Amino acid sequence: ALAGALREVVQRYYVFVSQLETQQQQSQLTLQTLWFHTEPVMEMMEVIANIVKTLNKGNTTGRAVLDLLHEQTLKLSGHKQAYDICFFLAKSSYKPYLTMLETWIHNGLIDDPYGEFMVQENKDIIHHESSLEQEFNDKFWSRRYILQRNNTPILFQSTSDMILNTGKYLNAIRESAFDFHDDTNIDMSTSMLHIDKQLLMNDHKKLEYTIHEKDLDETLEQAYKYASEILLDLIINKYHLIERFHTLKHYFLIDKGDYIVQFMDSAEDELTKRARDIDENKIQSLLDVSLAITSDDQYKDDVRIKMFHYDLISMLERVLNIESSSTLNDTVELKLTGLESFSLDYDVKWPISLVINRNCLTRYQMLFRFLFYIKYIERLLCNVWRAHKNGGRRRRRGRDRKRMTTKPNGAAYLRHKMLHFVQNLLYYMSFEVIEAHWHTFENNLKKVTNIDELLQYHLLFLDNCLRDCMLTSVHLLRHIHKIMATCVMFANAMDNVDDDDDFDSLPGAVVVSFNNNFTEQLRQLLDAISKEDGPVQGSTSGGQQHTLTNIIHR
């Protein structure tokens, strides 16, 4: 483009010389007239010569050419002839770049045969191959289109992120439009997503070169607002994102325990087996039956089981990119039970996978595995409580009440302590953490203006839940794991008592040992929580205490 502009300048120069030669042949050219006409031309040609010399010296191409011309135009704004020629060269050089920019912000397409545009497309990644099974992030959104800072002219440095997002939004809309054509239940004629062959805005202002960045901001902002509003309407209203969030909350965050109780009643025998011995098809069938009985959620069919071959601590280490040895993972896999490896998964289609991506689903799964296992511990201890209760009734019926003496029951006391801890931990996570952050998340959803804000608020909700549920600290999670293991061993010991009429047959030394271990582990956990207490993520007040403080008081 610059070479073409230079050829035009040279052509004009030849015309100028021919005109002087004509005047000279007609004896109308004097020395004074010659100097009058050539002086401004000499100044312009000198400016052009300096620009060309600089470009040739550095073998400059692409964005560097545009920046040089833009800087020279700004520098010569006080000299009319020099400014005019620099502005002409800059405008001509920017024209193909602005054409690429218009195609990107109004169509979401990249027409860049020489790799000079600020946005680079990775054509190897398409949304249907966005690996939701393996990746902890969403490839399509984060890696399909990448901003190339070295190809971003100075004129667009401040708006580069907005330009990138505008085209990304339009691409998401285009991909979704293809999926929409396959949905016969959607009226395309009345939808905001009625897209013909192009997404081009009919009333957009054409981009033209200017030395002032603010002159282009209005057009860029208008295109950004147009794309963000359509994509947000698509995901929230057409693909029912809010209802999807409620489904995730109901099943993954267990806001209602109805289906969990039904599922545990039917699947407990299978889940207590070693993880590698479990029939996953049977577990999936039992889950489907439980969901069908207890829920009328329209998206319950998208919920399926997921059996992990590593425990929750290893999962946390993977998410936090903590290096763990393969020997440890193999050992965990051999000893893992179905209850420890069981989790849920969720089938998400495009474009919902932009928001509910593998990165977010992994966080949901961590929360579910933690809540589910604690729910199971509560179930075990409640079984112990029922056994104590029934055994006590039988003893009272078989004895003379007048001669009956009451003595302290150490096992019942320990069971009460454990059950109190587990139920308070569940209450803390369910109501003081998840419900509180969910309320904030719902309020944030009402004020989102683009998909990036939606992604940010969703991830913030999950990260705050993980942090307040102690799932971002391997140290705290190990303490809780020890306590839960002690509760399981105690419940199994009580279950192995042969004499149902006398639960005091469990040796007192064993009960004392369980009690001492549980008390010491609980003390260590509370000490660790007090040390890790800090400000809440996303809080504007640096002195606000972490929600973990509440569990210490409880």
CATH 1.20.120.1900 residue ranges for the chain: 245-257+309-322+336-395+409-553
Q: How many Å apart are CA 382 and CA 388, to the nearest integer?
A: 10
Q: How many Å apart are CA 352 and CA 84, to the nearest integer?
A: 51
Six-digit token string for 161 = 């992120």
Q: How many Å apart are CA 14 and CA 290, to the nearest integer?
A: 87
What type of residue sits at position 60? T
Rg (CA), the chain: 35
pLDDT at 461: 96
431 secondary structure, DSSP code: I
- Contact 251/303 with Cβ under 8 angstroms? yes
Six-digit token string for 473 = 């600290």
pLDDT at 141: 67
How many other CB atoms sit within 10 Å of the CB of residue 422? 22
pLDDT at 366: 92
Classify residue 191 as left (phi > 0), alpha (psi -120 to 50) or beta: beta
305 secondary structure, DSSP code: E
How does pLDDT run along the chain (554 residues), one tens digit per residue? 888 888 888 888 778 788 778 887 887 877 887 777 777 777 788 888 888 888 888 777 888 888 888 888 888 877 788 888 888 888 899 999 999 999 999 888 888 888 889 998 887 766 554 444 444 445 566 778 888 888 899 889 889 999 998 998 888 888 776 554 444 344 433 344 444 444 445 556 788 888 888 888 888 998 998 888 888 988 998 889 999 999 999 999 998 778 888 898 898 889 888 888 888 999 999 999 999 888 888 898 999 999 988 888 888 877 765 444 444 444 344 478 888 889 999 998 878 888 898 889 999 999 999 999 999 999 888 888 887 676 554 444 454 444 444 444 678 888 889 999 999 999 999 999 999 999 999 999 999 988 889 989 999 999 999 988 888 888 888 899 999 999 989 888 887 764 544 555 556 778 888 889 999 998 998 888 887 765 545 544 443 345 666 666 66
pLDDT at 553: 64
pLDDT at 329: 45
pLDDT at 204: 66
3-state SS, one letter per residue, for 190-240:
CCCCCCCCCCCCCCCCCCCCCCCCHHHHHHHHHHHHHHHHHHHHHHHHHCC
pLDDT at 548: 65
* CB-count exposure of residue 429 (10 Å: 0-12, 13-18, 19+): buried
- Contact 270/283 with Cβ under 8 angstroms? yes
Q: How many Å apart are CA 9 and CA 14, to the nearest integer?
A: 9
Task: Describe the chain by its helix, strand, coil percentages, rounded to 5.
Answer: 70, 5, 30
What type of residue sits at position 266? S
Phi, psi of 473 (to 5 degrees): -125, 115
CATH 1.20.120.1900 corresponds to the domain 245-257+309-322+336-395+409-553: yes
pLDDT at 305: 92
pLDDT at 10: 82
| Closest residue by Cα to residue 466 from 322, 368, 323, 358 | 368
pLDDT at 436: 93
428 secondary structure, DSSP code: I
pLDDT at 543: 36
